[in-house]
């Protein structure tokens, strides 16, 4: 389904009548599962408890999820670590026509420019609710305001009494701007949807993939595993948590190649879902958008592999029923 970028409201309107109409700028706390605006972005709240925060204002080069909370309130993401300042918690980036959108430390990098936003709030199948937003972004090269790519980014959290975990979905649709005939998508073996964890989770936990696949060794003590989900269990500030990254069966080049940073004292822990663009570049053509669909699940404690897979299967079912036009 092609992007409808001109149907999105400008930022000024978003923080005016639209957010008021959706209850996002209410003076008094509102109950329920919902999105709430602030000066730097949007939060999803479950009553008064935070689920996630998405930052799109006052960012260096890209918007991202800068905070993600377990059901008990444990926050697991790290933003801008001194060793890699471009590691922005939960973020998405690749290379487009040779322009680097991942790193941010040199002047020749691109920018994922926020253009517009609208909130989402709806009931879904299985007595669940979802809340989040749809964002329109322009991927700009360093020396021009003409985008190399247009992105429709949809991030939503799911809420149901029996999920047992925080569950958020990240959908990205990439397509060419009008007048551009093609673009080549490449990257490195870690480019895609990536997560950096809080320092206490570095090099002390355990990775687990669907079907317990070991994957292949990669550069700099990493592993690359083609799998429908990958989980990481470690202590976040003294509390055991498990984070899993899911790849939807309809996502481009499913199953994703999951990048995991090896558990070495010399490195940090990291998890990315990639579509193998470093090995097999993708030529994007006009009128043929590329669709990616991922989810992140976060448990308190250490669930079994069967519990993780059960939530994965439930997410796939809910997601397909909610948006059948994207199959």
Q: Is residue 42 part of a domain?
A: no
* Angular region, 82: left φ>0, alpha ψ -120 to 50, beta rest: alpha
Q: Is residue 24 part of a domain?
A: no
Domain assignment of residue 193, given as a range: 5-16+71-326
Torsion angle of alpha carbons 270, 159, 92, 7, nearest 10°? 180
Q: Is residue 164 part of a domain?
A: yes
Task: Tell me which residue of 155, 158, 167, 164 sits closest to 124, measured CA to CA.
Answer: 158
Q: HSE (CB half, 13 Å, CA atoms) of 199?
A: 5
Q: Is residue 149 part of a domain?
A: yes
Give residue for tokens 């935070």: 50
pLDDT digit string, tens, across residues 136-181: 999 999 999 999 999 999 999 999 988 999 999 999 999 999 999 9
H/E run at residue 312? helix 305-322
Give residue for tokens 């709240």: 45
Label residues 100-112 b or e (16+ Cβ within 10 Å = b).
Answer: bbbbbeeeebbbb
Answer for the pair 298, 236: CB distance below 8 angstroms, yes or no.
no
Please give the residue that has the higher pLDDT: either 106 or 127: 106
pLDDT digit string, tens, across residues 253-270: 999 999 999 778 878 999
Q: Is residue 289 part of a domain?
A: yes
Q: Is residue 272 part of a domain?
A: yes
Give residue for tokens 């930022």: 11
Terminal CA-to-CA distance of the chain, rounded, Å?
10
**Percentage of the chain exceeding pLDDT 90:** 74
Q: Is residue 50 part of a domain?
A: no
**What CATH number is given to the structural domain containing 220?**
2.70.98
Task: Provide the number of structural domains found in the chain.
Answer: 1
pTM of the entire predicted model: 0.89
């Amino acid at each position: 389904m092609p992007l409808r970028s001109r149907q999105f409201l400008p930022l000024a309107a978003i923080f005016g009548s639209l957010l008021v109409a959706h209850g996002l700028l209410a003076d008094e706390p509102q109950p329920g599962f919902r999105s709430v605006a602030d000066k730097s972005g949007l939060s999803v709240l479950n009553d008064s408890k935070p689920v996630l925060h998405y930052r799109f204002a006052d960012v260096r080069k890209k918007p991202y999820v800068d905070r993600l909370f377990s059901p008990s309130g444990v926050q697991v993401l790290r933003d801008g670590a001194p060793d890699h300042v471009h590691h922005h918690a939960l973020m998405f980036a690749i290379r487009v026509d040779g322009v680097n959108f991942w790193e941010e430390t040199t002047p020749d990098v691109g920018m994922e420019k926020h253009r517009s936003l609208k909130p989402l709030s709806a009931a879904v199948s299985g007595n669940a609710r979802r809340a989040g937003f749809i964002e329109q972004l322009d991927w700009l090269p360093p020396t021009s305001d003409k985008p190399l790519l247009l992105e429709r980014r949809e991030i939503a959290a799911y809420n149901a009494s029996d999920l047992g975990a925080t569950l958020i979905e990240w959908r990205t649709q990439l397509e060419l701007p009008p007048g551009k005939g093609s673009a080549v998508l490449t990257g490195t073996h870690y480019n895609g949807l990536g997560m950096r964890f809080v320092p206490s989770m570095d090099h002390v936990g355990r990775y687990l993939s669907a079907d317990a696949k070991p994957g292949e060794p990669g550069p700099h003590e990493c592993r690359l595993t083609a799998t429908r989900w990958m989980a990481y269990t470690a202590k976040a500030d003294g509390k055991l948590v498990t984070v899993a990254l899911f790849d939807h069966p309809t996502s481009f080049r499913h199953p994703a190649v999951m990048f995991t940073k090896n558990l070495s004292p010399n490195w940090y822990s990291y998890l990315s879902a990639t579509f193998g663009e470093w090995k097999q570049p993708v030529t994007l053509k006009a009128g043929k958008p590329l669709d990616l669909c991922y989810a992140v699940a976060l448990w308190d404690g250490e669930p079994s592999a069967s519990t993780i897979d059960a939530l994965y299967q439930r997410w796939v079912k809910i997601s397909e029923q909610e948006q059948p036009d994207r199959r």
